[in-house]
Amino acid sequence: MNMIEEWIKAAYLDVESMRYIVSVEHLTSITAFHAQQSIEKSFKALVENKYSKVNKQHDLLKLYSLISDSFTVQNSDMLDTLNQLYIDSRYPGSFGLLPYGKPTLKDAKEFYEFAKDIFEQVCMFLNISIDEIKAQ
């Protein structure tokens, strides 16, 4: 498996993890974390495809800036929200919190759908079969 496929496989595992926990209220911040991770890994697959090298970078907006000329995200506000959740969650006391507190179930479901959509779009863009990724 090449690095692009490795990134896609890792993103898929985050999407699958969210699928199992997205409806569990006390895990909404974990769903948010996996959404951020899935998008980060999906973007890294695109960066790898474009530049053949991915620097250690976790900022979704910076990663997106590297690929935005060929890949479009429809909801940049959601991307920014998930980016901030990841950055903020790295400090005790604010793990995965939005400005109004812990993500709601509705938030978690929106994060899941957003991340899943980006993952599927990236797979289509890279001509990678999701069924093949599942089988690996």
The whole-model pTM stands at 0.89
Helices 28-51, 76-88: crossing angle, 10 deg rounding: 110
Q: Would you list the domain boundaries of the chain?
A: 3-135
pLDDT in tens, 37-86: 999 999 999 999 998 877 787 889 999 999 999 999 989 999 998 988 76
Rounded CA separation 85/130 (Å):
27
Rounded CA separation 19/6 (Å):
20
Q: Which CATH number fits domain 3-135: 1.20.120.330, 3.30.565.10, 3.10.20.30, 2.40.50.140?
A: 1.20.120.330
pLDDT in tens, 77-115: 999 989 887 655 555 555 555 555 688 999 999 999 999
Rounded CA separation 85/54 (Å):
22
Residue 84 vs residues 72, 80, 87: alpha-carbon distances, Å: 20, 6, 5
Burial 53-65 (b: 16+ CB within 10 A, else e): ebeeeeebeebbe
Nearest to 126 by CA among 15, 45, 27: 45
